[in-house]
Structure 1
Amino acid sequence: MIGFRQRSSDRKYGWCHRSNVIDLFSHILPSSPIVEVASTLQPKHFSYLTNGPKYVSPCQSRFSNGTIDKIILREYNHIIQSFEKGLTKNCISASDQRAKDFFTDIENLLRRLHTNILPPKLLARAQYEHRIMKSTRRQLKKSNVIIRITDKSKVFHLGSVQDYHEKALQYMQDTNAYREITSGINPCHDHVQTVLALIDPMLKKREINLELWKQYMRPNPMTTELAHLYFIPKPHKIGTPLRPIVSSIKAAATAVSHFLDLLLRPMFNRVTKETTFINGIDFVRQMESYRDSGRLLPTTLFVTFDVSNLYTMIPRDGAIFALQKFLYKYAENRRVHGMTIDTITRLARLVLDTNCFVYEKKYYQQIRGGAMGSPFTMTLANIYMWEWEYPLIEHQKMHNELYGRYIDDVFMTTNLSIDQIKARLNIAHEQDENIRITCTIGSTVEFLDVLVDNNQGQLKTSVHHKPAAEPYILPYLSDHPRHTHRSTVKSQLLRAARLCSHVEDFDRERLNIEFILLLNGYPPKFIAYHLKQFFRKNNALSMMEELDEVVYEELHRKLLYQSTRRERQEQQQEVIITDGNPHENSNNNDIFIHFTFETGPMLKMNTQPSQVGTAPIESITMETNSEGNLNQILPDELVILSQSSIQLNMTNMIPSQVPNIPNPTITHQNLTEDELRARRREARRRQRQRRAEPRRQARAPQQQQRNQQRQERRSEGRRRRERYQRWQERLAERRQQEYDDSPRYEYRSRWERRRETI
């Protein structure tokens, strides 16, 4: 039997369909792109960009450069691979006849759904958005503009390439964390050899835990690429500074960085559990525990401070020393999962030594801190901060006060005077020249997404919205499964109920949530229904009629101490690392299949179990994945320079749209001007072929029909010529026969006739 996750019927509850909401909410803009440069974009282009990075246009496969056969084959292979793994886990061969028949039914269903005609209204909307997207690409190519996603508000930011270039160079000069490789040689090949020279002997001697190490973590010389640097704007700060991000997905030591993070982060979390905030919910839990223990007094002050440029300012040698000290102190028998401290230290140095990247066609090495984007960087920075904050933690314990940190943001409670706590913070500030802090002291402070207030010894917490935050969530018109929109409403209400300690604050936040949902195109009936479902599920339906403090207190306490999804994931990760058997308690008869979601005929993929026959397994659940978001489907090249001295570089593109860096393992050859022109001509020819391919595919049915008609005309002409030739032959034979049968006179010469006459 196959179980599919079905969508709720919109008409059953009187909800508006997405296509019906377009005209109703198209004039409402939940968030606008932040524009700091002149461009040629028109209002319709800005209106399209207001959908935000999360927005997914409908029916993208209908406008894909690939053929329908390729799309179907990709989806089919993805689904079949999941099925084969599940069948193998259940001791069923994929070559079984039942499995083969089932796979055939899946392929037929995919082909039928992908080739069905779209409804006219949906097709018109998809075509319009596709034209707007292509027009946006063309307009951006005409301007000296760079587009990015902002750091906090998560909306689009349009800025000048010249401005980005100047700020990037200024950041490098201020931090002194980067050094240019003056030789001009791509270091990627050397990095691969360095990593392999260290990893292979360790694997051979079993110095690395083989249960955590996976085969794909070994770098492949043919697919490894050098990292590249790009910047994310922070428009909520004065001057719109930039945050550097090193994209090292295919770098040589990225897998080693993942391995170290997987190895050390659970250990660090266990050691620092009492002084680490997981998120805002965990912060509220510890604050209420602090209050319930009787330590919150009317004179209690709250202290928050953040560390500037933590990742790039920590010294490398100091970070390695802090790592060794941490492992010597907390590692059992000076080993972590059977690995010695020396082995871990060598791997950590390897990650830091190979931290190189390309920026504006130049190669750089980071000589301070770690790359923001490398998984191990956060763990190493946390360990370095743990070494720095340990005296401050002991000071707080001695005064029976609360201390907690979330990466580079710290929260403390104190009953000392303001002068005394400032003096203690000055000592911490001068403790390490690499750590610079900016503090705030008061009875009401903001920490993470929580506003905490000490009102004469009464604790009050509520949701804090940063000034840079935009009223933007996943738009209702986005091509996502309906359960995603339901989860959006539920998650917003859960967050409000967990963070707000008083019913008035919760009611105010509920109204704010409804306003944000309306701005993002959610129908009022949809919002009202799921709001009622939220209260009914949590046995607090009376709150829709009257704000009851007692009922809300029970609701708040119940939801606050429920495990969040992140906490469940971390617990599961610890079980995997500790036991090495993540599927011990899972049902082996369950197979979870993910397929690409798309509005239109593909909606029937998970609502027609009868179309795919019967699988040789008891329970199968099919889930959906949305297509790429607006950030991923925007132009391949969002920036083109018009009469500018700055050349096109890696930071001028969204990270997912960075051009491929040539494989450094291939020996570089200096090309002549003629060879370069020949390569450019060949590239342009291939580009024309790629652009013409969709048109050829669109004209293929008509061309095939014309060829068939031409062939039929040729065959008919051949048959006519053959009939005419046979008629000519029969006519010649008949004439010859008539001639032979006609009477003839005997031929006599003139002399014979004359002689007879005489």
Structure 2
Amino acid sequence: MRMKYIMQSKSKNKIPLFKLPSTWDPRTSYSITLEEYLDETMLELSKIKRIKPENNMSKAEIAALNQLKNNKHIVIKPLDKGKACAVVSRDQYIKEAHRQLSAFQYQKIDHDMTVHTAKMAHQIVDDLFVEKFIDKHTREYLLSDNNTIKVPSLYMLVKAHKPKPIDSDFCGRPIISGCCSPTKALSEYLDYFLLPLVQEQDTYLKDSPELIKILANLKLPHDITLVTADVTSLYTNIPQDQCLDIVVDRLERSNIRYQIPKPPPHLVRRILELILKRNCFEFNDEFYLQIVGAAQGNILSPEISDLVMYVIEKEFILTDPNIVFYRRYRDDILLFYRGDCSELQNLKTRMNDAHPTLKFTFETSDEIVTYLDLQIFKGPRFLEQGLLDHKINMKKQKRISG
């Protein structure tokens, strides 16, 4: 109430997109009547007897949780998909991380690059400000994390839905936690410009509810094949130089009207080079550099990957006249195909030959496929109206421990 009273006469200026939280605290207003009313209300509230909420866990359950939490020989992590968690031994966890880090996408280095990267990020922000592409509020926001910057760290989510590798006890998804990364703020800044580019692509799918709305009115021929495809490790397999060229070119050619000035190509390229090519992180007190792909855990990686994928789609996939419907949510593709088995196989081959590092796995059916959290199938309406039906796909969680 006090805030509403104080602000009622203030001009309604636009709040900057990138601005540090205000530290102003409206302790009192100039209205004696309002302050008396607030004091009386606070007095009445103070008379209400507080009832301490009861814990919904028993003492034994709490003790068990604390014992697990303090056990240095195990690691507890969420599953990659679903709401369950996995318990694995620390030795298994470290072994799987080293298996992942031995891949061609990563390179072990002998020093921490974080401090130097932070200085380079600071210089880019200053150049954006000097060239008048950001205002003082945005500059302050982009430099606000300077005192809390630390080297990003790698952790893994357990992929219970994937088979175990031959040389590991479980399959993990490597995530680079960049919450205190020197490029975190610049990633947020550039993501503001790239997200609308992704959303305007005709293959873009926001989520399952949007797909349900599309399918509700999508009349299809009766001889279609239902196809889902998955891009294998999309983020970590896109070449960094190709990302730079595609993203810079796409943003430069865009006619989208933004609320703030769009940065010029040379500064966009410098930001991207910093984010992609100086992605230094640590695991188990050792330093690594990602030399291929974008980091899973960076806010910008989905947009970068989407823009690269769209170029491949336009050139190698959507040129097939037998595709009657095509949508993609990140690395998950849904398409309906009107052609024989040999033509569909040719499409699969062409997709896997389109790029040296981006590969696809497929599932096809004449009746039903699983896509995201839906099962899409040819029900009674399909024969009558050519409309597909759907239902929620309830995934069974596997128990992962060891």
Fold match (TM-score > 0.5): yes
C-alpha offsets along residues 581-632 of structure 1, whole Å, 9 cap, x if unaligned?
A: xxxxxxxxxxxxxxxxxxxxxxxxxxxxxxxxxxxxxxxxxxxxxxxxxxxx
How many corresponding residue pairs? 370
1:100 CA drift (Å): 4.2
For residues 434 and 162 of structure 1, the distance between their equivalents in structure 2, rounded to whole angstroms, comes to: 30
Out of 47, 60, 83, the residue aligned to residue 154 of structure 1 is 83
Residues 227 and 249, structure 1, Cα contact 8 Å, conserved in 2: yes
Name the SS for the 1:402 alignment partner: strand
1:251 CA drift (Å): 1.4
Q: 1:359 to 1:99 in 2, by over 3 A?
A: farther
Equivalent residue number for residue 375 of structure 1: 299
Matches within 5 A, 1:339-350: 339-350=263-274
Of structures 1 and 2, the one scoring higher in RCO (CA 8 A, sep 6+) is 1
Equivalent residue number for residue 164 of structure 1: 93
Name the SS for the 1:166 alignment partner: helix
Out of 213, 221, 226, the residue aligned to residue 302 of structure 1 is 226
> Percent identity between the aligned chains?
19
Q: Determine whether 1:235 maps to 2:235.
A: no
Name the SS for the 2:127 alignment partner: helix
Q: Determine whether 1:450 maps to 2:374.
A: yes
Question: Bigger shift: 408-417 or 219-228?
Answer: 219-228
For residues 463 and 425 of structure 1, the distance between their equivalents in structure 2, rounded to whole angstroms, comes to: 27
For residues 386 and 266 of structure 1, the distance between their equivalents in structure 2, rounded to whole angstroms, comes to: 14
Q: 1:250 to 1:148 in 2, by over 3 A?
A: same
For residues 141 and 390 of structure 1, the distance between their equivalents in structure 2, rounded to whole angstroms, comes to: 52
Q: 1:301 to 1:253 in 2, by over 3 A?
A: same
Q: 1:360 to 1:108 in 2, by over 3 A?
A: farther
Q: 1:263 to 1:100 in 2, by over 3 A?
A: farther
RMSD: 2.9
Residues 152 and 468, structure 1, Cα contact 8 Å, conserved in 2: no
For residues 154 and 205 of structure 1, the distance between their equivalents in structure 2, rounded to whole angstroms, comes to: 46
Matches within 5 A, 1:6-405: 84=3, 86-91=4-9, 94-96=28-30, 97-101=32-36, 104=39, 108=43, 116-118=50-52, 123=54, 125=55, 129=58, 132-142=61-71, 144-174=73-103, 176-183=104-111, 186-208=112-134, 210=135, 213=138, 215-239=140-164, 240-270=170-200, 272=201, 274-291=202-219, 296-331=220-255, 337-396=261-320, 398-399=321-322, 401-405=324-328
Q: 1:102 to 1:256 in 2, by over 3 A?
A: farther
Residues 253 and 354, structure 1, Cα contact 8 Å, conserved in 2: no
Larger helix proportion of the pair: 1
**In terms of Rg, which structure is larger?**
1
Equivalent residue number for residue 406 of structure 1: 329
1:235 CA drift (Å): 1.5
Q: Determine whether 1:467 maps to 2:395.
A: yes
TM-score for both structures, normalised by structure 1? 0.45
Residues 152 and 280, structure 2, Cα contact 8 Å, conserved in 1: yes
Matches within 5 A, 1:569-718: none
Q: 1:350 to 1:304 in 2, by over 3 A?
A: same
Name the SS for the 2:378 alignment partner: strand
Residues 219 and 253, structure 1, Cα contact 8 Å, conserved in 2: no
Q: 1:338 to 1:465 in 2, by over 3 A?
A: closer
Residues 212 and 259, structure 1, Cα contact 8 Å, conserved in 2: no
1:177 CA drift (Å): 1.6
- Matched AA of 1:287: L
TM-score for both structures, normalised by structure 2? 0.82
- Matched AA of 1:276: Y
Residues 301 and 442, structure 1, Cα contact 8 Å, conserved in 2: yes
Q: 1:401 to 1:360 in 2, by over 3 A?
A: same
1:468 CA drift (Å): 3.2
1:131 CA drift (Å): 6.4
C-alpha offsets along residues 135-161 of structure 1, whole Å, 9 cap, x if unaligned?
A: 421355346211111121211211111
1:211 CA drift (Å): 9.6
Residues 245 and 372, structure 1, Cα contact 8 Å, conserved in 2: yes
Q: 1:131 to 1:422 in 2, by over 3 A?
A: same
Residues 319 and 380, structure 1, Cα contact 8 Å, conserved in 2: yes
Equivalent residue number for residue 358 of structure 2: 435
Larger strand proportion of the pair: 2
Name the SS for the 2:282 alignment partner: strand
1:201 CA drift (Å): 2.2
C-alpha offsets along residues 676-719 of structure 1, whole Å, 9 cap, x if unaligned?
A: xxxxxxxxxxxxxxxxxxxxxxxxxxxxxxxxxxxxxxxxxxxx
- Matched AA of 2:335: M
Name the SS for the 1:318 alignment partner: helix
- Matched AA of 1:427: R
Unaligned runs of 5+ in 1: 3-82, 471-758
C-alpha offsets along residues 491-532 of structure 1, whole Å, 9 cap, x if unaligned?
A: xxxxxxxxxxxxxxxxxxxxxxxxxxxxxxxxxxxxxxxxxx
Residues 124 and 267, structure 2, Cα contact 8 Å, conserved in 1: no
- Matched AA of 2:308: Y
Name the SS for the 2:388 alignment partner: strand
1:394 CA drift (Å): 3.6
For residues 75 and 273 of structure 2, the distance between their equivalents in structure 1, rounded to whole angstroms, comes to: 35
- Matched AA of 2:195: R
Residues 227 and 248, structure 1, Cα contact 8 Å, conserved in 2: yes
1:259 CA drift (Å): 0.9
